[in-house]
Amino acid sequence: MATPSDTIFPEARDTLLQHLNSVYALAQAVTPHAEAATTLTTQTFQQAFDLLATEPTARPATVSDKQWLFQLLMEVRRTTPPDDSTPPIPLYALRHQLAEEFVERTFPRVFATLPGGLRVLLLLCEVEGLSCTEAGQVLGMEPEEACERLKQAKTAAEASLRSEATMRERHLLNSSLHGDWLTHALRHTVTHDLTTLAPTLFPSLLDAAAQTSPESEPQEVASPSSRHERRSRVVQYSFVVLLLLSAGFLAYIAASLLQRNPETNLIVLSAQEADRINPMLSTTNPGQAEEFIREQLQWRLTLPSIEQATLLGVGILDITEGVSVPVFLYQDNQTQEPITLYTYTYALLQRHPDRLQLAPDIRRQIETDHHFDLHDLGEAKVLVWRNQDDIFVAVIPTDAASLRERIIFPS
């Protein structure tokens, strides 16, 4: 027997299903676990299909399909008894994952910029497993002083880490990092940054051992005073060696960070790449350019209009490793200068926080409708604004301030 939803026009059904990901994301945000989110999403779409099948005008003309689905979801949730049988997993796991990724990305800089003595104590105690008393013996320090300095090192490391975080990242750290996170961060840093031996070190030690034999040195009976002097020299030498190693670790980390941290500021990246854009499709029709991006990237966007400028074409650029974005090329009708318009999204920044970054002050500046953020990078001027979830970055050789007055937002 056919249900009401079986009679719905296929095109109407397919139009609603285009918003499945968005509806499921909202369902996860308002439910305690994945099973409940799946059930809520299913019920929402079933209700939407039934309503359209029995009453084609059920969706108000002034409301978009996505907004209507969101409203239905919230109505279904309010009328459905909550299911608390399963612990709240998805969002907690996501917060914890994001917090760990931030620590993993940031802690090498934190460790590298701590004072040398604090770095050595953290290395000996948190990574190598020595007690603060044992570490004090290695460093020639009194036990009480070593233990107090270890507390200071932990406090300084956590404070430095939090100072690197934005307000939202600090919220993630507060809600998700517990227990021995500092030990894990230190061990990860040491494993990835400090344990790669120089290729000549081990062979040179073997050579040194081969050149030294027990018969080559006369055996002497050491007096108590001489043994004490040797122990004192060993402690002093050990302290000097540790300080040298610590200095070497710092230099190594700094070099590694410079090598593996490419540019991530999307303002700078956009300006750097503007000169090498070649259109994949030449067109003066904004609708055709939007359709091209929709087909190539499954990315729906609405181009803004720029007064006294002509659209020349559209392309797709790998702005950084593994991240492709739409790029639209315009020409200023008066100056004949190029205008390169990039499109990003907030979701894209969240998926690639280690590759694309937009400073918090810029986000605050553009979070209000019709507000712009202007940057002068010397040879390039950059104008940033947003429309709904899309972030637009225009690069122009000269006056970006006047360009701001020529942007027409979609109605």
CATH number of the domain that residue 343 is part of: 3.30.200.100
Supply the pLDDT for residue 254: 47
Assess whether 382 and 305 both reside in one domain. yes
Boundary (domain end) residue, out of 244, 260, 276: 260
Assess whether 61 and 15 both reside in one domain. yes
- Distances in Å between the Cα of 43 and the Cα atoms of 15, 280, 385 are 17, 42, 37
Assess whether 11 and 124 both reside in one domain. no
Q: Residues of 283-304 as b/e, b for ≥16 C-beta within 10 angstroms? A: beebeebbebbeeeeebebebb
Does 374 fall in a domain?
yes
pLDDT in tens, 70-109: 899 988 988 876 655 444 445 556 677 777 788 888 888 8
Supply the pLDDT for residue 70: 86
**What average pLDDT does the segment 8-13 reach?**
70
**Measured distance CA(94)–CA(1) in Å, rounded:** 42
**What average pLDDT does the segment 138-165 reach?**
84
Assess whether 275 and 392 both reside in one domain. yes
Assess whether 278 and 361 both reside in one domain. yes
Question: 60, 45, 44: which is closest to 8 by C-alpha?
Answer: 45
Does 290 fall in a domain?
yes
Does 215 fall in a domain?
no
Supply the pLDDT for residue 228: 52
Least trusted range by pLDDT, from 44-53, 186-195, 205-214, 310-319: 205-214
**What average pLDDT does the segment 180-207 reach?**
66
Assess whether 331 and 396 both reside in one domain. yes
Q: What are phi and psi of 240, to 5 degrees?
A: -65, -45
Assess whether 106 and 164 both reside in one domain. yes
Q: Could you tell me if 125 and 154 are in contact, meaning their C-beta atoms sit under 8 angstroms apart?
A: no
Boundary (domain end) residue, out of 79, 100, 125: 79
Assess whether 61 and 115 both reside in one domain. no
* 377 pLDDT more than 70: yes
Q: Residues of 247-263 as b/e, b for ≥16 C-beta within 10 angstroms? A: eebbeebeebeeeeeee
**Measured distance CA(302)–CA(409) in Å, rounded:** 9
Please indicate whether residue 285 or residue 196 has the higher confidence score (pLDDT). Answer: 285
At 251, list the tokens.
């230099």
Supply the pLDDT for residue 263: 65
Assess whether 70 and 117 both reside in one domain. no
Does 126 fall in a domain?
yes
Supply the pLDDT for residue 260: 41
Type and span of the H or E element at 347: helix 346-351
Please indicate whether residue 82 or residue 182 has the higher confidence score (pLDDT). Answer: 182
Supply the pLDDT for residue 343: 93
**Maximum distance among all alpha carbons in the chain?**
104
* 258 pLDDT more than 50: no
**What average pLDDT does the segment 291-316 reach?**
89
Mean pLDDT, the chain, rounded, equals 76
Q: Which domain holds residue 278?
A: 266-408
* 249 pLDDT more than 70: no
Question: 331, 338, 320: which is closest to 273 by C-alpha?
Answer: 320
For 82, the 3-state DSSP assignment is: coil
**Measured distance CA(10)–CA(207) in Å, rounded:** 79
What DSSP designation does 85 have?
A: S
Assess whether 16 and 58 both reside in one domain. yes
Please indicate whether residue 28 or residue 71 has the higher confidence score (pLDDT). Answer: 71
Does 204 fall in a domain?
no
Percent with pLDDT over 70 in the chain:
74
- Partnered with residue 306 across adjacent β-strands are 407
**Measured distance CA(150)–CA(118) in Å, rounded:** 7
**What average pLDDT does the segment 302-306 reach?**
89
Does 224 fall in a domain?
no
Residue 371 carries which side chain, given as an amino acid letter? H
Work out whether strand 281-282 and strand 373-376 pair parallel, antiparallel, or are unpaired.
unpaired
- Counting DSSP H helices and E strands in the chain, the numbers are 17, 9
Assess whether 42 and 118 both reside in one domain. no
Tell me how many degrees the CA angle 315-317-322 measures, rounded to the nearest 5.
145
pLDDT confidence bin for 56, thresholds 50/70/90: confident
Supply the pLDDT for residue 256: 46
**Measured distance CA(384)–CA(376) in Å, rounded:** 12
**Measured distance CA(315)–CA(106) in Å, rounded:** 34
**What average pLDDT does the segment 182-211 reach?**
65
At 230, list the tokens.
């040797």
**What average pLDDT does the segment 298-326 reach?**
88
Assess whether 253 and 274 both reside in one domain. no
pTM listed for this prediction: 0.40
* 370 pLDDT more than 90: no
Looking at the 3D structure of the chain, how many domains does it have? Answer: 3
